[in-house]
Structure 1
């Protein structure tokens, strides 16, 4: 019985290793999407800034002008442009933090402070890959050991419950 448990635990260990090795790959794909979002917002705001300058306004002045407009559509565009500028600032800060965090810190930073829109888009298009980076191999190994060890401990616990208990000897 315990031999079967070891085989099953090994299988779960392999599954855990494969799944855990995908976390660094997901993080890498997230960083690519993050960069794409920053690039697109930068282009959008550069066009807005050029339009504002051609009308003698700064970005902030143009946003205030739009937001103060009586036309609801124009006012909403001012609110949206301000939200775009704030989001760009947040994403750039997040990207700088991820660059300086190092390989394993990036994964934790993504999980803790990741942009939900970028995370969701990354998840929708995620493609698993073979881990060839240091963090991919380490994450895979940790996933294997964790899944394998947990299942062996669980099997040992279940086996101890099924083992008949020795009865005290009568005197």
Structure 2
């Protein structure tokens, strides 16, 4: 009885949690697009400044790095911004046009911790009223239920009292007669 209640609770928890994926992944993608837009502006401004003095990006970073401790620190932070921009732009390109099921397959492209944290702060869970939400809820229910059922099967023998076992089926049938 307790095992059934636990598996049902795990199933419902999985359903409630996973049903939120379509909406959360959409929120993440929107924030990712905003971050890419802003970083594109910063990188374009840096490239424009470099070009205005006759340098390409690599030469501008090297020139900045040679300008003392502050210049070296600024050069490194700008190189980090440029690398992050490239990574996020690639993630956005992979996610653009993807529906909820494809975003689940491409979840590895939703790994920026800053964007995920900001998306989570703004995210408001809701009851999914779409086909995708229902599929994710069903998958979450089955996954939670199966996990607890599997763990109960694996660890069930560990928690049984020694010397106490289930009666043989024939004995159960004789008692019922």
User: Is TM-score (shorter-chain normalized) higher than 0.5?
Assistant: yes
Per the normalisation by structure 1, the TM-score is: 0.75
Say which SS state the counterpart of residue 133 (structure 2) adopts: helix
Q: Is the deviation greater in 117-126 or in 89-98?
A: 117-126
1:28-67 alignment runs, 5 A limit: 28-67=26-65
> How far did residue 58 of structure 1 move?
2.4
2:96 matches 1:99: yes
Task: Name the CA shift for 1:113/1:165 in 2 (closer, same or farther; >3 Å).
Answer: same
Residues 15 and 136 in structure 2, CA contact (< 8 A), matched pair in contact too? yes
Residues 99 and 106 in structure 1, CA contact (< 8 A), matched pair in contact too? no
> How far did residue 73 of structure 1 move?
0.4
Name stretches of at least 5 consecutive residues in structure 1 with no aligned partner: none
Task: Name the CA shift for 1:45/1:112 in 2 (closer, same or farther; >3 Å).
Answer: closer
Deviation track 1:80-137 (CA, whole Å, cap 9, x = no partner) reads 1111111111111111122365532322432476223322333344322332443322
- Determine which of 131, 134, 138 is the counterpart of 2:135: 138
Work out the CA distance in 1 between the residues paired with 2:127 and 2:169.
54
Per the normalisation by structure 2, the TM-score is: 0.72
Say which SS state the counterpart of residue 87 (structure 2) adopts: helix
1:117 paired residue number: 114
Compute the RMSD of aligned alpha carbons.
3.3
2:74 matches 1:72: no
Work out the CA distance in 2 between the residues paired with 1:152 and 1:116.
32
Say which SS state the counterpart of residue 55 (structure 2) adopts: coil
Work out the CA distance in 1 between the residues paired with 2:57 and 2:130.
42
Q: Which has the higher helix share?
A: 1
Task: Name the CA shift for 1:56/1:22 in 2 (closer, same or farther; >3 Å).
Answer: same
> How far did residue 43 of structure 1 move?
1.2
Q: How many residues align?
A: 164
> How far did residue 55 of structure 1 move?
2.0
Work out the CA distance in 2 between the residues paired with 1:149 and 1:60.
53
2:16 paired residue number: 18
